[in-house]
Structure 1
Amino acid sequence: MILKHLLILVFYCWTVSLFAQHDIVIDATLDPEKKELNIKQAVTFRNTSTTPLSTIYFNDWANSFSNKTTPLAKRFAENYDSSFHFEKKEDRGSTTLYSIANAEGLPLDWQRGEEVDILEVSLLEPLLPGQEVVVKLLYTIKLPSDKFTRYGVTRNNDYRLQHWYISPAVYNGEWHAYSNKNTDDLFLLPSQFTITLHTPPRYQVISDLSVVSETISEKTKTTILEGADRVKAIVHLEQQSNFKSVVTDRVEVITNLEDKKVSPPIKALLIDRITYFLDNKLGEYPFEKMVISESDYKNNPVYGLNQLPDFISPFPDGFEYDMEQLKTITRNYIENTLPLHPRKDYWLTGALQIYLMMEYVETYYPKMKIIGNLSNFWVIRWSHASKLEFNDQYPLLYLNMARNNLNQALITPKDSLVKFNKNIAGDYYGGDGLDYVADYLGRDQLNHAIKEFYTKYRLKPVTSQQFRKTLAANTTLPIDWFFEDYVGTDTTIDFKIKKVRKRGDSLNVLVKNLRDNAMPVSLYGINKDSIIFKQWLLPIDSTATVTVPAKDVRKLVLNYEEIIPEYNQRNNYHNVRGLLNRPIQFRLFQDVGDSRYNQLFFMPEFDYNLYDGLILGAKLYNKTVLPKAFHYNFTPKLGLRSNTLLGSGSLIYTQQFKNQPLYAMRYGLAGSYLSYDEDLFFRKFTPFMTFAF
């Protein structure tokens, strides 16, 4: 019995140790003339691992702005941003570190490696598992201009403080200390913050940390902030703040996102609806307030809406503001409470964010089109683009990268992603993947698993593997395909109906997976526009045969509702009655592709020359918004004066190579028949081949 109680006590102590917080105590004084913060800091670091530590690593991301050769500077150059390279040194920012000592004031040896934004601190004696050590730091932060990352010093001498303090790196058997590359992925486990800020009285302090006290003297305002279980401590110092507070039943939202077309009461109602929705879908937000800033939004905007000029408003009043707040609040809701590794497991944060946005739009804007009210304009109404729902943008933008051979696996480290994948396509593909899982498992099962995952791991160390286990526990269907193939590889998805045989009152359907993965796919029986049946096929790695009822079925279609972000949906159709699997459709001008039809686009063309007179013709082509492997383009024309058939044409095929130095090969043949004098004509044929590296 004594041994049993002893084991329980040991387990309890180990559990407390495992989730013990670091304490970060900061005393910072703002010098607005020099644009500096003078900081005295004490970090209580707790060893929650099972191994002794002789060295502790710290993130000093403020120093990543210090010169033109840091990893951050190189990332700016890679993104063709030259402003940092040509900026004055005093506007770039840096850290001047004066001393590092232990609790007794004894100096500790420290050094910077090749990465100037990582500190390595040597302890006087090893820190054993379950023990803690206090590290005191004295330093000055030279704050950079906000033009580089939207955080720093503004033109008005206001301050948006993000990576403004030195933070302990995460150790869980290995150190997670890495450089700032402007990917907003600093890794910090939930910690206890106590911050004392000394500023001139004219500055207002905006933060989602709790304000413990605020005292004002003639020259100084002292503000004390506290927060437990925090993974970040962003602070805004503004002389004339435009932040407004919206108090909902669940959390106070402090925001400076503006939309002059929306009145304050409507803004409050929209924010209240968003917090209610997230509370229902995820669970309770554990903090009293949340700051939603313009800087947050612009670093991760609603792409498409952010590019519309103010005088164009194809959406109802309030919709754009609702989407902006939804995306930013959802991101903060997840990031502030689920401490996933932001460089390795970022995909899950983005996938949850986009999936929840899709669910929100389905709930409150079920008929919203991707181009808004423009879909009713007579010039556009005929097009397939006008039929696309708002949520159709997510697979569309991912497929644009996949068709251009630029898609990357979701598990690719965040600092290795191309810019479009980091900002847009990766999160969209992840969110669309969860929608795929929801249709496969059942939406209620996925939503329950997401809420269970959030509730269980809120404010605790967590990885995407815990999400995988939670999802598996909520279904009897195989789910490994999602993590191993959908998330774990950059292989695209492509199924085909290979063969159909009628057997009495049934149809034997052979489905082939054209890619090197194992994925499930939905099979539909269609009669005109009605769905006769829908059946999910378990993950297919090569081929699978399924028997379905033939009654009333005129057409068999894979992925008919286009839930799966499939690379090529044109081979998903098989006509049970008739010759063509997909009917031919003629379209005036280029459009978004419609996989239900064999589309042929045409465009009238007019020309004139002395020999042929007025030339009338049409360009016939198959090019759509999304790239295709095979393109054709024929332009027959008739010269009215010469009464001669003229024209040109081309055939182009692009062969792509994945993860190889040779990116693509393009083969083509172009030809033309044109006049060069009275009753004199020439023929020109041009075969070609190009290589892309």
Structure 2
Amino acid sequence: MTKTIKLVASLFITLACTSYSFGQKEFYNNNKFKQLDEELPTPNVYRTGAGAPGPEYWQQQADYVIEATIDEDKKRLTGSETVTYYNNSPEVLTYLWIQLDQNMRATDSDTYKIRQNHIGEKTNINQLAAIDGFPEYDGGHKIQKVTDADGNALKYTINKTMMRIDLPKELKKGETFTFNIDWYYNINDRLLMGGRGGYETFAEDGNTIFTITQWFPRMAVYDDFNGWQNKQFLGNGEFALTFGDYDVKITVPSDHIVASTGELQNPKDVLTSEQIDLFEKAKTSETPVVIVSQKEATKKEKSKATDTKTWHYKADNVRDFAFGSSRKFIWDAMGVDINGKTVMAMSYYPKEANPLYGQYSTEAVAHTLEVYSKYTIDYPYPVAISVEASNGMEYPMICFNYGRPEKDGTYSPRIKYGMISVIIHEVGHNFFPMIVNSDERQWTWMDEGLNTFCQYLAEQEWEDGYPSRRGPAENIVNYMKGEQNNIVPIMTNSESLKQFGNNAYGKPATALNILRETIMGRELFDYAFKEYAQRWAFKHPKPADFYRTMEDASAVDLDWFWRGWFFTTEPVDISIKEVTVEELDTQNPKVEVAKRKAERDAQPKDITTIHNEEAKLVTRVDERPELKDFYNSYDPLDADLEDYENYKKYKAGLNEADKAWLAKKHFVYQVDFENVGGLPMPIIIELQYADGSSDKKYIPAEIWRKDDKVVSKVFVCEKEVTQFVLDPNRETADIDTDNNYFPRKPEVSRFQLYKSGANQPRTYDSGRLNPMQKAKKNKK
């Protein structure tokens, strides 16, 4: 469609604006730019409207002294702990809540009862056993006794994965209470039963790697927001925990190496003098130093010690404690300079993980500490450890990861980059939530999403073209355009999430990347994100604290963004609905007559005229020329004297700037945009010109404030536009790119012709040669 506009008095084109009534209740309630004040908690003396801890912010503390022993043959852990609990709250407490996470594996666990099951065409005994939680496995914390500091029995009640201890007297503000718990539990076969921790026994040599997690009764969080966070542990929602100091002694077979949260207190009791010297050398080495070699570990695999050693670790101001133990461990380490402080980056792994772990693991740990420290806070702890345990899970200063090559030492790019990514991710969890201590039992995205975003930054700083799985906007499109009944908002409780990985990891990470790259810009985003990390380091932030801090530190109103990306499941789908060419009326008779005639001549002929021409029809007037008069040669589009007089008057009314503008050729386009998906986003449009050049325009999302369905924008260009392209760099997660072009591009589909006959067999990754193996084969 082409319309004509006139330039009058000056060159400013006045565009009509539609008037809207903001008093309509329906518009207010559905307005996508409505502020979040009604959804967010009211600021108070504990948490301010700026998103920072308030002047009276408080949090509890729990210190632990623990002694634990692993029985390798029985696969059992026995422990005794003394807990000192500090009531820093203004409330009086009459009971304490303790988390017994191992009870998730008890035979009567709700986790198994509420898990949906389906009968498939094929199954096996293990799958059938898993339905009821492996009935032959006696799981769960076995509480032996609970006493006060003087050994007097305390009344306690176990409710599934939670235990309440009734206090003998009120615990007032500023007071402490010390109590003891003795317990044991049977360690689960992690590869068979799954789980964040457990044991793995290697069939080839009969040795075991223990990854000990959620292993001791732990204090639940009591805070200003929830009171006691005592939601049951069902398996997905992870852990809300209290900071404290730990003094832990771990007794294991004497030929085991123990990797643990904290710093080793008795190296002379458990390490050789050579290992101690190598550890000291590693502190200043620029590359990893091997402290326990593969040769040493392989030798120990051939016989099992019958005596034990006790490893003594201490950790200050941490929210949890975990460790790994095995005689199979190879151990390497290197020092990392974090703003003048040396942090030991270390890896523990079986020979089955070499050469991948020896080459990459500790380097990935060091890289993670450096990158995360740049974007959040300086890493505060003395060590950071990666343990290869064929899984992925995080704890303060230590994490368990995967990454085993083929037996011939080769590996696929999927394994290599998957291993590096999981190490970055799990080490990164030291920052979220081990330091910025969000409530994982309630809001998984606050640790997984923020951490996955930082993981993406670290991956992209590892090497050019790193194949990041999550972070780029394009990678979340398939999830966001999926069936709405299989998607829930990010702001959903951890145990109620659908598509856990996409919801808690992928979508929030993508949202933050879009904020950084497209909406806020790197400078504003990085400052605000770092401010959030610094404000809430070693504290307990909530979603509102994050939202408010990001806005407070950047002066960018993001309520529309949080509402759309975090509180709804609407996708991004902006369409170029229509483009109208607004042609300038120069009022020059010569110019305008030529244009009008060209437009008329370009109109298609009617079918009768076409057929008459084909039949070479001779009209009566053609046969009798004397019938022609003035009107047979008159063209109503021709200009007359009055047109030229009007043009002179028009030019006289223009100033010099108007005349200079008129001297150039201009193209004016009105582009109508439709918000098909519902989620408002910035409009990023590329104008591709006839001369092969292009120009990208950025229109903030606020253009949708008064109409979130259709908006229009006029573009005045000195060159003719041949193609309009929305979101040319795929930075907004638009789920339908077909409507991003005007004129529309034809859809192109590809097909292959196969030989007729039986269906082609399916292929799988397993059993196929990886690229390294193919390269070796090709050399032969």
TM-score (norm 1): 0.71
2:322 is the alignment partner of 1:228: no
Unaligned runs of at least 5 residues, structure 1: 1-13, 371-388, 576-580, 585-597, 610-693
Secondary structure at the counterpart of residue 427 of structure 1 = helix
Report the counterpart of residue 535 of structure 1 in structure 2: 698
CA RMSD of aligned residues (A): 3.6
2:275 is the alignment partner of 1:205: no
Moved more, 237-246 or 313-322: 313-322
Amino acid at match of 1:567: I
Offset at residue 434 of structure 1 (A): 1.0
Write the mapping of 1:21-170 to structure 2, written as runs, cut at 5 A: 21-67=61-107, 69-74=108-113, 78=117, 81-85=127-131, 91-113=137-159, 116-147=160-191, 148-149=194-195, 151-155=197-201, 156-170=207-221
Offset at residue 513 of structure 1 (A): 1.7
8 Å contact kept, 1:17–1:48: no
- Partners of 1:302 and 1:56 in 2: CA distance: 31
- Partners of 1:459 and 1:554 in 2: CA distance: 56
2:515 is the alignment partner of 1:437: yes
8 Å contact kept, 2:450–2:509: yes
Offset at residue 435 of structure 1 (A): 1.5
Work out which of the residue numbers 303, 328, 338 in structure 1 matches 2:436: 338
Q: Structure 1 pair 38/282, CA: closer, same or farther in 2 (3 Å)?
A: same
Offset at residue 89 of structure 1 (A): 5.3
Moved more, 471-480 or 175-184: 175-184
Secondary structure at the counterpart of residue 336 of structure 1 = coil
**What percent of counterpart residues are identical?**
16
Report the counterpart of residue 752 of structure 2 in structure 1: 603
Write the mapping of 1:409-558 to structure 2, written as runs, cut at 5 A: 409-418=489-498, 421-424=499-502, 426-438=504-516, 439-503=518-582, 504=584, 505-527=667-689, 531-539=694-702, 540=704, 541-552=708-719, 553-558=721-726
Offset at residue 163 of structure 1 (A): 0.9
8 Å contact kept, 1:399–1:565: no
Offset at residue 254 of structure 1 (A): 2.2
8 Å contact kept, 1:395–1:565: yes
Moved more, 476-485 or 600-609: 600-609
- Partners of 1:390 and 1:199 in 2: CA distance: 39
8 Å contact kept, 1:255–1:293: yes
8 Å contact kept, 2:356–2:404: no
Amino acid at match of 2:313: L
8 Å contact kept, 1:71–1:179: no
Report the counterpart of residue 249 of structure 1 in structure 2: 337
Secondary structure at the counterpart of residue 604 of structure 1 = coil
Report the counterpart of residue 604 of structure 2 in structure 1: none
Q: Structure 1 pair 305/391, CA: closer, same or farther in 2 (3 Å)?
A: farther
2:446 is the alignment partner of 1:348: yes
Q: Structure 1 pair 600/203, CA: closer, same or farther in 2 (3 Å)?
A: closer
Q: Structure 1 pair 548/345, CA: closer, same or farther in 2 (3 Å)?
A: farther
- The number of aligned residues is 553
Report the counterpart of residue 245 of structure 2 in structure 1: 192
- Partners of 1:32 and 1:304 in 2: CA distance: 22
Q: Structure 1 pair 303/121, CA: closer, same or farther in 2 (3 Å)?
A: closer
TM-score (norm 2): 0.64
8 Å contact kept, 1:261–1:318: no
8 Å contact kept, 2:477–2:735: no
Q: Structure 1 pair 502/348, CA: closer, same or farther in 2 (3 Å)?
A: farther
Amino acid at match of 1:481: W
Q: Structure 1 pair 136/542, CA: closer, same or farther in 2 (3 Å)?
A: same
Offset at residue 290 of structure 1 (A): 1.5
Report the counterpart of residue 427 of structure 2 in structure 1: 329
- Partners of 1:267 and 1:243 in 2: CA distance: 11
The structure whose residues are more often strand, as a share, is: 1
Offset at residue 118 of structure 1 (A): 0.9
Offset at residue 210 of structure 1 (A): 1.4
- Partners of 1:107 and 1:165 in 2: CA distance: 19
Q: Structure 1 pair 423/255, CA: closer, same or farther in 2 (3 Å)?
A: farther
- Partners of 1:346 and 1:522 in 2: CA distance: 31
Offset at residue 392 of structure 1 (A): 7.8
Q: Structure 1 pair 567/112, CA: closer, same or farther in 2 (3 Å)?
A: same
8 Å contact kept, 2:401–2:419: no
- Partners of 1:412 and 1:316 in 2: CA distance: 31
Secondary structure at the counterpart of residue 231 of structure 2 = coil
Q: Structure 1 pair 357/99, CA: closer, same or farther in 2 (3 Å)?
A: closer
Report the counterpart of residue 370 of structure 2 in structure 1: 276
- Partners of 1:310 and 1:509 in 2: CA distance: 60
Offset at residue 267 of structure 1 (A): 5.5
8 Å contact kept, 1:93–1:142: yes
Report the counterpart of residue 381 of structure 2 in structure 1: 287
8 Å contact kept, 2:353–2:405: no
Q: Structure 1 pair 518/118, CA: closer, same or farther in 2 (3 Å)?
A: same
Moved more, 541-550 or 396-405: 396-405
Deviations 1:439-478 (A, max 9, x none): 1111221122222221222111212322212210233332
Offset at residue 312 of structure 1 (A): 8.4
- Partners of 1:34 and 1:364 in 2: CA distance: 43
